[in-house]
């Protein structure tokens, strides 16, 4: 894992190889965040590319005293995703499609029936996430898919920490009430592995 701060310093000094290394280090995580917010691979790719391009061309604006590079980049990414959402209605897709990716093989130990059941639960969960309002969807994706702290979320979303916390809590409550009939045991077992 490269030292991102050293790469940033090198890029700020004009080392183009450092810019390429930053891009390569951040592209997958940036794409996954955009994908979690937009739900469409081509839209997510475009938003992630725009976010990374902006971050790299404006690297001198990055201030490590204000936020980590990851937080700064994710702030830009959320902004680009909001721009895309304003221009296009979001399609609905399944968490299974998002989680599976090309590098994630299907567990051969799963029976077809169990696999189908898990896929259905994932689909219901993701439909419920897509039905959340934009602020709640952003909060839940930043917290659980991108793994940000509440402080980082507040910085990314431009809100106080208690607001970030309440958005996650409210999103979780709405998901729980909307999914009351869904048996989440299969997903919980899978996450424990």
Q: Where are the domains of the chain?
A: 1-91, 94-193
* Ordered mean pLDDT values, 10 residues apiece, the chain (193 residues): 84 89 92 87 91 92 89 92 73 49 47 66 79 89 86 91 93 82 52 47
User: Exposed, middle or buried by CB within 10 Å (0-12, 13-18, 19+), for 5?
Assistant: exposed
DSSP H stretches of helix in the chain: 4-12, 16-38, 41-57, 69-87, 95-100, 112-131, 134-140, 150-157, 161-178, 185-192
122: number of Cβ within 10 Å: 20
pLDDT at site 112: 64
Cα(28)–Cα(63) distance, rounded to whole angstroms?
Answer: 23
Q: Can you give the pLDDT at residue 183?
A: 54
pLDDT of residue 53: 93
pLDDT at 182: 61
Q: How many CA atoms lie within 13 A of 75 on its CB side?
A: 18
The fold of 94-193 is: Arc Repressor Mutant, subunit A (1.10.10)
CATH of 1-91, one of 1.10.1740.10, 3.90.1150.10, 3.40.50.300, 1.20.58.740: 1.10.1740.10
Q: What is the dihedral angle through the alpha carbons of 94, 91, 152, 24, rounded to the nearest 10 degrees?
A: 80
The contacts of residue 126 (CB under 8 Å, 6+ apart) are 39, 92, 93, 94, 95, 96, 98
Distances (CA, A) of 188 to 67, 118, 121, 130: 33, 10, 11, 20
Measured between alpha carbons, how far is 89 from 15 in angstroms, rounded to an integer?
40
- Residue 102: per-residue pLDDT: 43
Structure token digits, residue 111: 């029976």
């Amino acid at each position: 894992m490269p030292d991102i701060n050293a790469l940033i310093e090198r890029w700020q000094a004009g080392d183009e190889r450092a810019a390429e290394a930053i891009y390569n280090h951040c592209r997958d995580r940036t794409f996954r965040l955009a994908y979690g917010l937009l739900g469409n691979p081509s839209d997510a790719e475009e938003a992630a590319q725009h976010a990374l391009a902006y971050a790299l061309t404006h690297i001198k604006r990055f201030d490590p005293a204000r936020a980590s590079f990851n937080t700064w980049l994710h702030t830009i990414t959320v902004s680009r995703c909001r721009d895309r959402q304003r221009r296009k209605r979001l399609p609905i897709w399944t968490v299974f499609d998002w989680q599976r990716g090309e590098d994630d093989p299907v567990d051969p130990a799963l029976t077809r029936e169990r696999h189908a059941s898990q896929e259905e639960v994932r689909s219901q969960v993701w439909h419920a996430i897509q039905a959340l309002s934009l602020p709640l969807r952003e909060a839940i994706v930043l917290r659980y898919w991108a793994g940000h702290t509440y402080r980082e979320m507040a910085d990314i979303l431009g809100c106080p920490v208690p607001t970030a916390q309440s958005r996650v809590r409210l999103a979780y409550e709405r998901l729980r009430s909307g999914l009351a009939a869904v048996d989440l045991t299969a997903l919980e077992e899978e996450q424990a592995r």
